[in-house]
Amino acid sequence: MKLKEILDKTTAFFKEKKFETPRLDAELLLAHGLKLERIQLYLRFDQPMKEDELAVLRELVRRRAQGEPVAYILGYRDFYKSRFEVNSSTLIPRPETEHIVEEVVEWGKSKKTDLGIIDLGCGSGCIGLSLLKEFPEAKLIAVDLSEKALEVAQRNAQSLEVSDRVRFIHTDAANADVVLSAYKDFVGSNKVDVLVSNPPYIAHDDSQVEANVKKFEPASALYADDNGLALIKNWSKQYASSLNHPGIMLMEMGMTQGHASKEHFESLRTFNEISVTKDLSGHDRVIRGET
C-alpha cells in the first residue's frame, strides 16, 4: 500500500468519525509516525509502506479514533511563535489564548524592557514563556498546583532557552503571599508589571464541553466553582493591589463571562481601564485591566 492511499483512507476514516479537521489530523499523524515534515508526505505519495511503518501508523490512528487529541499523540502543540511540549498533565494550548500574549506584547512596546511577569496556572508555560521570548530582559514567575505540569513547563523553558529568566513555583495560585515573595526575590520588586492567566473557568455543569475534552484533558485545569468564575474573581482580587503603575492583568474567560468578569474587575477599584477582548469568532475571551 502506498503513502497516498494510507493518507486518503485515514482522512476518510476520520471524516466518518466526524472529526473537525480530518485531513489535517491525518497529515499530522502520518508525518509524525514516519518522521517526516508534512510537506514531505506529498513528495512521497508513491512510496510503498513497509509493514513496520504500517504498524506504527495503525497505532496512531487507533489512538485518534478513540478521541485522544492529536496534540497529546504528537506530544506537542504549536502556540504563538513556538512549539510546546504537552501531555495529559497539561491543558492543550488553544489559538484563542494567543490573544493574551498579543495584547501584552502590544502594551509592552512603550514600557520598560525588563518586565516582571507572573503567570498563574501556567500549565505547559505557553503564555509566560512566549512573553519571555518577546521581552528578552523580562523575568517570569510561573505558578501551578500540578507538579507534573510544572515538569513539562520546565522542559519547555529549556527548549526555548529561557530557563535562566523563569522560576517555577509549585503552589496554589491563591497563595498570593508565597507567589509574591518569590516574585520579589527573583525580580527584585514588590510590584508586578504583568499578570497573565488562563485559569480554569468552565462551570461544573456546563453541558457544552466536548466529550473528548472531558475524557483526556486535566479536570483541574478546566473547571471552577461559581459558574466557572471563582478563580477569575479570587486570583484577580488577591493580586490586583500588587500591580505596578503602569501594569496590566489579563485573564482568559468563557464566552458568556465577559459581563460578570468586567463587573468584578470594576469592583476591585484598582484599574484605570477595563476592557473585554473578543476572539476571532466574536466571543468574549479575555478580561483586561490596566493600572
Question: What value does the mean pLDDT take over residues 14-42?
Answer: 95
Is 183 labelled as part of a ligand binding site?
A: no
More confident residue, 162 or 203: 162
Asked whether the beta carbons of 106 and 113 are under 8 A apart, the reply is no
* Per-residue pLDDT at 81 exceeds 90: yes
At 43, list the grid cell: 513528495
Q: Which three cell numbers stand for residue 146?
A: 500540578
What integer is the mean pLDDT of 51-63?
A: 96
Name, in order, each residue with C-beta under 8 angstroms of 33's C-beta and a sequence gap of 6 or more.
53, 56, 57, 60
Q: Which of 125, 33, 147 is nearest to 79 (CA)?
A: 125
Average pLDDT over residues 250-258: 96
Residue tagged 470594576 (cell numbers) = 266
80 known ligand binder:
no
| Residue 121 is assigned to a ligand binding site | yes
Range 94-290 has CATH code 3.40.50.150: yes
Q: Categorize the per-residue pLDDT at 170 as very low, low, confident or very high, splitting at 50, 70 and 90.
A: very high
201 labelled binding-site residue: yes
Write the CA distances from 182 to 19, 141, 175, integer angstroms: 44, 7, 11
pLDDT of 285 over the 90 cut: yes
State yes or no: 228 annotated in a binding site.
Answer: no
Question: Whole-prediction pTM value?
Answer: 0.93
**Which positions ≥6 away from 41 have C-beta within 8 Å?**
3, 7, 27, 30, 31, 34
144 is an annotated ligand-binding site residue: yes
Band of pLDDT at residue 21, cut at 50, 70 and 90: very high
125 marked as binding residue: yes
Q: Are 287 and 258 in contact (CB under 8 A)?
A: yes
Q: Which residues contact 231 (CB under 8 A, 6 or more apart)?
A: 121, 173, 174, 199, 200, 201, 224
Average pLDDT of 199-210? 89
Average pLDDT, the chain: 96
Q: Judge whether 200 is annotated as a binding position.
A: yes
C-alpha cell at 228: 466557572
Residue 242 per-residue DSSP state: G
Q: How many CB atoms lie within 10 A of CB 185?
A: 10
SS3 134: helix
Tell me the pLDDT band of 220, cut-offs 50, 70 and 90. confident
HSE-CB of 59 using CA atoms within 13 angstroms: 10
**Alpha-carbon distance 245 to 189, whole Å?**
13
The CB-based long-range contact list for 263-268 (8 Å cut-off, 24+ gap) reads 264/229, 264/232, 264/233, 264/236, 264/237, 265/236, 265/289, 268/236, 268/237, 268/240
* Predicted confidence band of residue 112 (pLDDT cuts 50, 70, 90): confident
What value does the mean pLDDT take over residues 48-63? 96
Residue 258 pLDDT: 96
Q: Which residues contact 180 (CB under 8 A, 6 or more apart)?
A: 190, 192, 239, 242
